[in-house]
């Protein structure tokens, strides 16, 4: 039996980066990019490397280009850590696993390190494959924490729950990381919203602006823990924007959402240092009348546009800067719990 599982790229619509700080966000998954894991029974447990994991190069320039595209680490460590955490989870919950071995590999076309949740997609797809192989079900509300633990506890990567909740629930997801709820139950309040209520959205990204989320979050975490008033006010502001977007979606007021997205980025720019390249992406989108904010920690942006004429203007402007743009195909394939 060959098992194939997927997890889709994620766009942070509003509220990020408050998700790691008891805030609120709305995010969506879109099928333009995905990570796929293939798993099948075999005599030994084997993890097969892919292009991102190779260590043989044509020369020094090839090595440098590879590092620029994929970073210093491939997906093997993600699979190893995910398999270990899966094993830990089953032991903790008294779940007996059969003794069959498997071979596992992954592939992903999610642009690397631009804030589209490529790493968590690989881990999510891995958990889905392992669950299918061993015939167990991990409750959807528990899965995001398990995915996050792979990166934070096993690999020491600073990250929040937003990406993992979005990829576990799929579609358009509202998330409230209420502190009291989080400390009591270990998870926030998550619910799917109506995809059809969204305005026209675009996603644009530039691979040469890639940067790990830990670069941004390390500074924000330190400021949050020492109760920096500027950061605490920003988190409350982003959470309130999330509520306003949710209300606008529910009330059919899509025309209000663009300004709220702009406000999300503008406050972020006030409390953190944004690279010139990322600011240029935002300014370029806004120059044609579209809204724009980061989808994650930089390198990719999301925004609203009025019509095909404005989208074409975005396409023309971005192509001059080597920035790629897509219309996200927002999907949900997981069904209900």
Q: Are residues 188 and 274 in the same domain?
A: no
Note the pLDDT of residue 326: 97
The neighbouring-strand residues paired with 294 are: 301
Q: Are 13 and 302 in contact (CB under 8 A)?
A: yes
Domain that holds residue 277: 196-326
Note the pLDDT of residue 167: 97
* Percent of residues, the chain, with pLDDT higher than 70: 94
In a domain, 333, yes or no: no
Average pLDDT of the segment spanning 169-198: 94
Instruction: Choose one of 158, 173, 193: the last residue of a domain.
Output: 193
Beta pairing class for 24-42 and 101-108: antiparallel
Instruction: Respond yes or no: is residue 163 known to be catalytic.
Output: yes
Number of compact structural domains in the chain: 2
Q: What would the pLDDT profile of 150-164 be if each residue is shown by its tens digit?
A: 998 898 887 789 999
> Which residue in 44, 192, 207 sits closest to 116, CA to CA?
207
Q: Which residue has the higher pLDDT, 219 or 9?
A: 9
What is d(CA 22, CA 234) in angstroms, rounded to the nearest whole number?
12
Alpha helix ranges (H) inside 178-275: 179-185, 213-225, 229-250, 257-271
pLDDT at 216 over 80: no
Q: What would the pLDDT profile of 64-85 be if each residue is shown by its tens digit?
A: 887 776 666 678 999 999 999 9
Of 163, 194, 196, 266, the active-site residue reads 163
Note the pLDDT of residue 141: 94
Sign of the C-alpha dihedral computed for residues 127, 128, 132 and 133 taken in this order? negative
Going by pLDDT thresholds of 50, 70 and 90, the confidence category of residue 32 is very high
Q: Are residues 263 and 115 in the same domain?
A: no
Q: What is the mean pLDDT of the chain?
A: 92
Average pLDDT of the segment spanning 228-232: 94
Phi, psi of 111 (to 5 degrees): -50, 135
In a domain, 77, yes or no: yes
Q: Are residues 27 and 14 in the same domain?
A: yes
Q: Are residues 86 and 174 in the same domain?
A: yes
Sign of the C-alpha dihedral computed for residues 277, 283, 288 and 292 taken in this order? positive
Q: Is the peptide bond before 17 cis (omega within 30 degrees of 0)?
A: yes
Question: pTM of the predicted model, to two decimals?
Answer: 0.92
pLDDT at 130 over 80: yes
Instruction: Choose one of 193, 216, 248: the last residue of a domain.
Output: 193
């Amino acid at each position: 039996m060959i098992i194939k599982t997927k997890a889709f790229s994620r766009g942070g619509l509003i509220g990020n980066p408050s998700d790691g700080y008891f805030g609120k966000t709305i995010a969506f998954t879109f099928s333009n990019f995905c990570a796929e894991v293939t798993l099948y029974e075999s005599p030994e447990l084997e993890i097969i490397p892919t292009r991102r994991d190779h260590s043989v190069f044509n020369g020094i320039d090839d090595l440098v280009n590879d590092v620029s595209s994929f970073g210093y680490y491939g997906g093997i460590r993600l699979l190893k850590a995910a398999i270990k955490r899966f094993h830990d989870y089953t032991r903790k919950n008294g779940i007996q696993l059969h003794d069959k071995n498997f071979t596992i590999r992954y592939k992903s076309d999610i642009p690397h390190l631009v804030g589209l949740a490529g790493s968590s997609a690989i881990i999510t797809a891995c958990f889905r494959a392992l669950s299918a192989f061993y015939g167990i079900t991990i409750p959807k509300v528990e899965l995001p924490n398990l995915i996050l633990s792979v990166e934070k506890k096993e690999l020491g990567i600073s990250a929040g729950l937003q990406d993992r909740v979005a990829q576990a629930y799929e579609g358009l997801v509202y998330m409230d990381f209420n502190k009291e709820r989080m400390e009591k139950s270990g998870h926030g309040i998550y619910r799917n919203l109506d995809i059809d209520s969204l305005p026209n959205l675009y996603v644009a990204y530039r691979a040469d602006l890639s940067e790990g989320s830990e670069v941004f979050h390390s500074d924000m975490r330190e400021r949050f823990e020492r109760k920096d008033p500027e950061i605490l006010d920003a988190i409350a502001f982003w959470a309130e924007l999330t509520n306003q977007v949710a209300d606008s979606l529910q009330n059919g007021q899509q025309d209000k959402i663009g300004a709220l997205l702009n406000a999300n980025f503008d406050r972020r720019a006030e409390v953190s240092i944004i690279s010139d390249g990322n600011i240029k992406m935002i300014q370029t989108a806004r120059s044609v009348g579209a809204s724009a904010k980061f989808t994650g920690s930089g390198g990719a942006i999301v925004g609203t546009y009025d019509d095909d004429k404005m989208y074409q203007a975005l396409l023309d402007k971005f192509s001059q800067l080597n920035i790629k743009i897509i219309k996200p195909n927002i999907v949900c394939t997981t069904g209900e719990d």
